[in-house]
Amino acid sequence: MSEENQRQNYYVVPAYESTDHNHAFITIADAARNHQHGILGTTSPAIYSGCSHIHSICVLTTSDPKDGPIHWHVVDVVTGPAIEVKGDEHTHQFYGETKITLEHAHRFNSTTVTAPDQEKNDHNHKDCKCKNG
């Protein structure tokens, strides 16, 4: 299966989303079997969770041809809730382990690029129990 076909097979449609924002991310996975992979892309739009929101990350790593067959790994995780930072922006932590390919996986732990904070009204949906003022 081609890399493009694999990417298309791993797209996840969230149950509730806002197209107001997403986040870029770029990191390097931990070494395993004497090589590493890059993890980069853009998160899904916001998926509301309680009084905050999360994002889905579902991408393929970069390939690594060193010491063996060219391969990549699937990364399929959700971020943590929004983490407020200075300047009315926020970020998200994401971490986990890639799917196993060629009998190994890679761990990762990073944060997304910041994005503007959401308006309080963005949380006015059927599942939110927040008090917006």
Asked whether residue 89 is domain-assigned, the answer is yes
Q: Which two tokens stand for residue 70?
A: 């060219």
Average pLDDT over residues 60-83: 91
pLDDT band at residue 87 using 50, 70 and 90 as cut-offs: confident
- Band (pLDDT 50/70/90 cuts) for residue 5 is low
Q: Is 19 part of a structural domain of the chain?
A: yes
> Domains in the chain: how many in total?
1
The answer to whether residue 28 sits within a structural domain is: yes
The pLDDT-based confidence of 117 (bands split at 50, 70, 90) is: confident
Instruction: Quote the domain boundaries for residue 111.
Output: 3-123
Kindly state the percentage of the chain with pLDDT values over 90.
57
Residue 133 belongs to some domain of the structure: no
Q: Which of 31-35, 38-42, 48-52 has the weakest average pLDDT? A: 48-52
Distances (CA, A) of 128 to 29, 51, 81, 98: 34, 6, 14, 31
- Rounded to an integer, the average pLDDT of 106-126 is 74
CA distance 125 to 130: 10
